[in-house]
Structure 1
Amino acid sequence: MQNLGIPSSALLTIHSDRLFAESAYGQRVAREMEARSAVLMAENRRIESELRAEELDLAERRSGITADAFRTLASAFDQKVQETRRAQEAKFLEITTAREEARREFRNISIPILEQIMAETGAAAILEQSTVLLSAEAIDVTDLAISRLDASLGEGSGETLKP
């Protein structure tokens, strides 16, 4: 029996990646992550340019200073490059971690809505569509779940995405 677009089935399927990506919450997360990534990429380009200029300056100074003085300056420059690289990698990891945390939060928030859909349909389980070999399109509740999540959650608070 079909009731207002809600299937009646013991098994339902869902595209969890699509659920996240097409929901208002997931789209907000994507926008915020893209913005943070763009800022980091611009910062990386600026730092790379500054380090390149510093390296060229060091190379030009080489002929005018002693070998020991050059080694000291070159070692300090190398250490600066390594520290900068670690700091930038840590910033990238922060963005990746924030994205993963947002997905976990979304999954937790979506469980009550998915449970409600299960109760309404009489389903015993919701399976991940990507692990199902073959199924009827009618048991896919991804669109229904997205509309319900958007109605109850909207874009979400965004608190987990703060740096």
Structure 2
Amino acid sequence: MVDLDRAYETSLFGKSMRAQFREDNQDVAAENTLLLNALKDEELQLTEDRATLSAEEFAAAAAAFDAKVQEIRSARLEKIRQVDEQFKNLKPLFFSRIEPFFDLVMREFNATVILEKRSVLRSIEGIDITDLLVERVDDAFLASISATEPAAEN
């Protein structure tokens, strides 16, 4: 039996996936802040320019600014939708990437089935392999990190 949610929450691989998502999401938030500040500055400039523009010129400039704001808003909403989609896919992606470890553990214990903890009504703790699965996933994750790090110079 395995608790997939606990494996996702406690494994280094799951934590790394969530940390990368947060980092990517912080970049989106920083982009939003930059865009918002630029639009505020542009709006202030447009307000200042109103005194020197004719009514027609100001109306055209205001319409162009509004169109720009609407375009940026649409693009940012799409970006937020993509971020939400990425977040929804984190757990399924984690589960699909750890599938080979199920086979490993099944062979190790000569098991024919692994049940998800939420679908089991009653069990003894000794059959829960979540910690073992997390250990195997963490070992492989750490090995992959050390394999991709450049060797220390002598």
Name the TM-score, length of structure 1 as normaliser.
Answer: 0.70
Q: Aligned partners of 1:95 and 1:156: how far apart in 2?
A: 26
Cα shift at 1:144: 0.7
1:119 equivalent in alignment to 2:133: no
Pair 61,110 (structure 1): closer, same or farther in 2 beyond 3 Å: same
Look up the SS of the partner of 1:31 in the other structure.
helix
Q: What is the aligned counterpart of 2:61 among 69, 73, 84?
A: 73
Flag structure 2 segments of 5+ consecutive residues without an equivalent. Answer: 146-154
Q: Aligned partners of 2:125 and 2:29: how far apart in 1?
A: 41
Pair 116,125 (structure 1): closer, same or farther in 2 beyond 3 Å: same
Cα shift at 1:147: 0.3
Question: Contact 2:101–2:137 (CA<8 Å) still a contact in 1?
Answer: yes
Look up the SS of the partner of 1:125 in the other structure.
coil
Question: Contact 1:25–1:156 (CA<8 Å) still a contact in 2?
Answer: no
Cα shift at 1:48: 0.8
Q: Aligned partners of 1:155 and 1:37: how far apart in 2?
A: 27
Number of equivalenced pairs: 145
Which amino acid counterpart does residue 26 of structure 1 have in structure 2?
Answer: G
Cα shift at 1:145: 0.3
1:29 is aligned to 17
Q: Aligned partners of 2:118 and 2:21: how far apart in 1?
A: 25
Q: What is the aligned counterpart of 2:4 among 8, 16, 29?
A: 16
1:108 is aligned to 96
CA RMSD of aligned residues (A): 2.8
Question: Contact 1:25–1:155 (CA<8 Å) still a contact in 2?
Answer: no
Q: Identical aligned pairs, as a percentage?
A: 32
1:62 equivalent in alignment to 2:50: yes
Q: Aligned partners of 2:119 and 2:43: how far apart in 1?
A: 52
Q: Which moved more, 1:123-132 or 1:110-119?
A: 123-132
- Say which structure is richer in strand: 1
1:7 is aligned to none
- Say which structure is richer in helix: 2
Cα shift at 1:68: 2.3
Pair 143,68 (structure 1): closer, same or farther in 2 beyond 3 Å: same
1:85 equivalent in alignment to 2:67: no
Look up the SS of the partner of 2:123 in the other structure.
coil
Q: What is the aligned counterpart of 1:47 among 21, 26, 35?
A: 35
Structure 1 runs (4+) deviating above 6 angstroms are none
1:128 is aligned to 116
1:148 equivalent in alignment to 2:133: no
Pair 74,136 (structure 1): closer, same or farther in 2 beyond 3 Å: farther
Pair 130,73 (structure 1): closer, same or farther in 2 beyond 3 Å: farther
Cα shift at 1:97: 5.0
